[in-house]
Amino acid sequence: MTLDLISIAQGILLLVTAPFITGLLNAWVARFQGRRFRPRILQPYADLWKLLRQPPIYAYTTTLVFSLTPLLLVLGYGLIAFSLPVISSKTLLPSSFILLIFVLALLQFVLSLSGLDTATGFGWIGSSRLMFLHVLAEISLVLVAAALVVMWDVRSKRDHGITLGSTFSGISWQPGDDLPCDGVVPNHSV
């Protein structure tokens, strides 16, 4: 029972402290840029309170995708928050590193679809930029995950909270071994 309470508490802790971390980063950036007027650290909480009190405004061209996007984003980031070990290594929801990357990619896709759903030029520009940057980031995340799996020989050990998954479980390379190249050695002497 206490494990469930700790797991719930660490998920709620992540969700509640996320705006504080954003405010802290904004204040540091303003300080390093030498700005005279720095944003308050608790400003993201005030912005969230202000936005939650306003009624939603939808354009005539939007569909159900645009109106469901905030709900899907909150649910997706909540899923991630309850899957990450912060206080305890046990989590409420079992997860793997590959699953977390997939959920992040899915949330970025939903956000891009909502930008395209508005049928405006600015929505298209923002969505295409978001997807371009996400493609660059996701490739590097998957490559880092594959390198960690190969280096540490991790194969879905669920007792440590986050796992890298069993996607790469067929790789049997150990540090210090020669890289497998299927008998084909490239000739670079030409």
List % helix, strand, coil for the chain (3-state, nearest 5).
Answer: 60, 0, 40
Structural domain boundaries in the chain: 10-55, 60-173
Residue of 44, 41, 40 whose CA lies nearest to 19: 44
- The chain-wide mean pLDDT, for the chain, equals 76
Q: Comparing 10 with 94, which gets the higher pLDDT?
A: 10
Residue-wise pLDDT tens digits, 157-166: 444 444 444 3
Whether residue 178 is predicted with pLDDT greater than 90 in this model: the reply is no
| Stated pTM of the model | 0.65
Query: Average pLDDT of 20-48?
Result: 90
Find the range with the poorest average confidence among 10-19, 23-32, 52-61, 142-151: 142-151
Q: Round to whole Å and give the CA distance between 34 and 38.
A: 9
Q: Round to whole Å and give the CA distance between 89 and 182.
A: 39
Contacts of residue 1, Cβ cutoff 8 Å, sequence gap at least 6? none
DSSP structure class, residue 39: P
Residue-wise pLDDT tens digits, 118-174: 877 777 787 888 788 877 777 777 787 777 767 665 554 444 444 444 334 444 444
58: left (phi over 0), alpha (psi -120 to 50) or beta: beta
For tokens 């005539």, the residue is 60
CB-based contact 182:112 (threshold 8 Å): no
